[in-house]
Amino acid sequence: MYNRAIRGSLIIGDKSYSQISADILAPTETKPGKWWFAMMTLATLASIWGVYSIYITVAKGIGTWGVNNTVGWGWAIINFVWWIGIGHAGTAFSIFLLILRQKWRTSINRAAEAMTVFAVGCAAIFPALHMGRIWLAFFIIPYPNTRGPLWVNFNSPLFWDFIAISAYLLISFSFWYLGMLPDFATIRDRTTSKIRKALYGFFSIGWVGSSRQWLRFDSLAFILGGIAAVLVVSVHSIVSTDFAVSVEPGWHTTIFPPYFVVGAIFSGFAMVMTLMIIIRKLYRLGDYVTDGHLDAIARILIFISLIMGTAYLTEIFVAWYSGSEYEMFTFFRNRITGEYALQFWGMIICNALIPQLFWFKKIRSSLLMMFVISLFINLGMWFERFNIVITSLSKDYLPSAWASYTPTWVEVGTYVGTIGIFLAGVLMFFRYIPMIAVSEVKAVRDIGTRKYD
């Protein structure tokens, strides 16, 4: 039983069902404000820079990047892992809380799932570019072909990435889209525009809200949830094997799979907090995205931050305890001190120290502080991926081959372009899709009241 006196209200105010529909669907029924057009312009410009950078990469090759013989993985793989991490939040948030029957997820899961789809789409760009010959990307698809007995290397972690990400994107999109059917039908029935009625009617695929449909809808949610729960763990574990199966100092370690999974959920939950604060402020949805919702996310971030801090200390201790001079050099001379100390300490401060501010209720009650800390966490997680990729490659076993890595404007532009694509997707989501699951919020409207109990 949900105790409202202890855990707070899931919805503020005595909302009727019609009020819930009107409040949440208002952004899809009214013209967006000037800020929306300003942000869409910014996202479009960033996307254009990204598309141009991708064109340069495809036309001239990855020689336009700052990679070299030693650092063969640059910003492309850093940003690939970073985007995949952000993409974990929606599924982890929705699936695990759905399976655990946590009712407070209902106001947040829709936006988190949308974020997952856009982030995974952005992540998929980088491995394709990093292949060097993007027009041959179909070679990694395992299908019978006319090229003779030529198959992909099933022992390659890069092939595992393709399979894992494809499955993850398919399941995430299916879970997100199918969960919107009741809300699309609500918009279809409310609108007076023939075009909108036809479009939302098409995407609602005949939803009428019968008992049989609701029964199948709920069953399907748990089935997809069970499949996606496995993918949440497996996808980033597979990404970690890109590193762990190598013999590079700093990579060849068994801590990577759990370390990557927890880090992905950490960065994803931080991005969920960022997104929900923006939604709450810009669309005045504080009655649905309450202080209690944001407080719950902050508490989860505290817990995961402690795990991340423990993982960092474990890595350092194992490097020292192993007695391997190569491991000790990588951690103590190339990360903690040395050329990449700034990125290392930025990672520690942003991921292990700053989130501990959430122990203070005053911090958890300030939207501005929560917003800033969530941005710091994602910055710290980017630093973490930089540390993992660059520091091990730049100075490996052969000192004569050591080389520093500096990204070029093409790499930076590609990354900025994916941010623009992600932002444009989120803005379109704000405009045309209910940001909060109307049907699910209605289902929990009376939870915690005597009438419900």
- Residue 348 or residue 225, greater confidence: 348
Residue 146 DSSP one-character state: S
Does 6 have pLDDT greater than 60?
A: no
Does 450 have pLDDT greater than 50?
A: no
Averaged pLDDT for residues 15-43: 84
Dist. CA 209–CA 224, nearest whole Å: 20
Does 147 have pLDDT greater than 80?
A: no
Residue 99 is predicted with a pLDDT of: 67
Residue 453 is predicted with a pLDDT of: 39
Dist. CA 53–CA 142, nearest whole Å: 29
Buried b / exposed e along 215-236 (16+ C-beta atoms within 10 A): eebeeebeebbeebbebbbbbb
Averaged pLDDT for residues 288-306: 86
Instruction: Tell me which of 3.40.50.150, 1.20.1070.10, 1.20.1630.10, 1.10.287.470 is the CATH number of domain 28-145+153-443.
Output: 1.20.1630.10
Q: Quick one: which of 316, 315, 309 has its CA closest to 350?
A: 309
Kindly give, in sequence order, each residue whose CB lies less than 8 Å from that of residue 443, ignoring residues fewer than 6 positions away. Answer: 106
Residue 72 DSSP one-character state: -
Residue 1 is predicted with a pLDDT of: 45
Ranking 75-79, 192-196, 271-275, 282-286 by mean pLDDT, the lowest is 282-286
Are 404 and 339 in contact by the 8 Å Cβ rule? The answer is yes
Residue 47 is predicted with a pLDDT of: 92
394: pLDDT confidence band, cut at 50, 70 and 90?
confident
Please tell me the pTM assigned to this model.
0.84
Residue 449 is predicted with a pLDDT of: 44
Averaged pLDDT for residues 250-265: 83
**Amino acid at position 415, single letter:** Y
Count CB atoms within 10 A of the CB of residue 208: 10
Does 44 have pLDDT greater than 90?
A: yes
Kindly give, in sequence order, each residue whose CB lies less than 8 Å from that of residue 432, ignoring residues fewer than 6 positions away. Answer: 28
Q: Quick one: which of 261, 253, 276 has its CA closest to 381?
A: 261
Residue 416 is predicted with a pLDDT of: 92
- On average, the pLDDT of the chain sits at 82
Averaged pLDDT for residues 63-68: 86
Residue 7 is predicted with a pLDDT of: 55
Does 324 have pLDDT greater than 60?
A: yes
Are 171 and 224 in contact by the 8 Å Cβ rule? The answer is yes
